[in-house]
Amino acid sequence: MNLLLSYIYYLFLLLLVISAVFSIASKNLLCSVIFMSLFNLFMVIIFLLLQAPDVAMAEAVVGMGFTTALFIITISKTKEEEK
């Protein structure tokens, strides 16, 4: 890759680390799941920069569509009742 693309690649790797840290360290469960979806989005962009279109399409559909929906349904079913 030329110089500009390699700088963009390192920027997206840094954003990946930041979103993983925020996903583990936040107190609200819904915030953690949204940052998890952002983690999958940055992985899709990195796969496109590494010239892999099949893997990017699979990760986009599975990570950001299916897993996030299942997480949100689980969180809504395991909320404790308000006293």
Partner 1 sequence: MKYYCVLLIAVLSLVLFLSLQDIPVAQDLMPASSHYVNSGVRDTGATNLVNAILFDYRGFDTLGEATVIFASAAAFKMLFSHKRIFSFRYGLSPIVKTGMGIYSPFIFIFGIYVIMAGHISPGGGFQGGVIIASLSILLTLVYGLWYKVRRTVFSPAISSNIESIGGFLFLGIGLTGILTGNYFLSNLDAGFFAGTPGHMFSAGSIPILNIASGLKVAAGLSIIFYSIAGGE
Partner 2 sequence: MKFTLVFIIVIMSIGLYGVLAKDNLIKKVIGISIMEGAVFLFLVSYGYRQDGAPPIITGYETRIVDPVPQALTLTAIVIGASTTALMLGIIIKIFNNYKTLETKEIRRLRG
The footprint of partner 1 (CB under 8 A) covers 53-54, 57-58, 61-62, 65-66, 69-70, 73-74, 76-77
Of residues 11 and 61, the one with the C-beta less far from partner 1? 61
Smallest distance from partner 1 to CB 64, Å: 10
CB of 4 to partner 2, least distance (A): 15
Tokens standing for 83? 């006293």
Structure tokens at 23: 């996903």
How far is it, in rounded angstroms, from Cα 23 to Cα 36?
Answer: 6
Let me know: does 35 contact 79? Beta carbons within 8 Å: no
